[in-house]
Amino acid sequence: MIWTPELASFLEDAPFPAYKEELIDFCERTGAPLQVLDNLMEIEDEEAIFEGIEDIWPEYINQDDTFYFDEEEEDYY
């Protein structure tokens, strides 16, 4: 299973909480890339309920996670 931020973004609007089959159905209806469907099909636990993309791919950083760079604290040598 290989996830990228671009692939995971197709699940941002998924109807969480959801079962694996519900996520697959959502991806088929929304036209997600085949790699997203393949990744979901590789999940072994058929009865698991996923609360969000983070349950599927823990390293996922969503749009709400913002990184700030404070130029004033930058030390120049």
Q: How far apart are CA 46 and CA 41, in angstroms?
A: 9
Q: Give the Å distances, CA to CA, from 43 to 11, 48, 58, 67, 70.
A: 15, 9, 14, 30, 40
The pLDDT score that the predictor gives to residue 59 is 83
Q: How far apart are CA 73 and CA 65, in angstroms?
A: 21
CA distance between the termini of the chain: 44
Q: Mean pLDDT throughout 59-76?
A: 59
Question: Residue 18: how many CB atoms within 10 A of its CB?
Answer: 19
Q: What is the pLDDT of residues 21-48, one digit of tens each?
A: 999 999 999 999 999 999 999 999 888 9
